[in-house]
Amino acid sequence: MRNEYQLSKREQRVMDLLWEKDEALTSVDILERLSDIMPNTTYVHRTINALLDAGLIQERGSVRYNTQYARKFVPCMTREEYAAKFLVLHGIQTESFVRVAMALFQETQEDKNKHADEMIEQLQEIIDALKAQAKNPK
């Protein structure tokens, strides 16, 4: 059985498109924007159905195109939530969080010091929230 967090190239491109847009997209929208890897509607529909089956996207209304209606789709989770699930699936647990955060920071920063203060501030907010949560578990 296929793992729902292991995406094909087409599935990944559709998810990237949905994450980048702040609106629901139809299969027609997806075909227009990804025509380089989706040569026809069959590819789009198969990809959409696979993402629906995996629970990664959901329907969010419909829109009329000429005489037919097209379903609109949105992601069920953020890119970051997906990445977290993917990492956990591949054995990265909370014990590795600090090392993963550091590696991610180093991998994505051209100028290592440029955003360091912002990241430290954000990490401090996370630490404070975790400490508060540990003191007052619900």
Residue 136 has pLDDT above 70, yes or no: yes
For 8-38, write each residue's pLDDT tens digit.
999 999 999 999 998 999 999 999 999 899 8
Residue 129 has pLDDT above 60, yes or no: yes
- Looking at residue 1, its pLDDT comes to 40
**Could you give the angle at the alpha carbon of 27 between the alpha carbons of 2 and 25, nearest 5°?**
100
The greatest distance separating any two alpha carbons of the chain, rounded to the nearest whole angstrom, comes to: 59
Residue 85 has pLDDT above 60, yes or no: yes
For 38-54, write each residue's pLDDT tens digit.
888 899 999 999 999 99
- Looking at residue 92, its pLDDT comes to 83
Residue 112 has pLDDT above 70, yes or no: no
Q: Is pTM beyond 0.85 here? A: no
Residue 60 has pLDDT above 70, yes or no: yes
The confidence band for 95, taking pLDDT boundaries of 50, 70 and 90, is confident
> Measuring CA to CA, which residue among 63, 52, 71 is closest to residue 11?
52
Residue pair 21/41 in contact (Cβ under 8 Å)? The answer is no
Give the mean pLDDT of the chain: 86
- Looking at residue 101, its pLDDT comes to 78
Task: Give the span between the Cα atoms of 80 and 52, in whole angstroms.
Answer: 19
% helix, strand, coil for the chain, step of 5: 55, 15, 30
Residue 5 has pLDDT above 80, yes or no: no
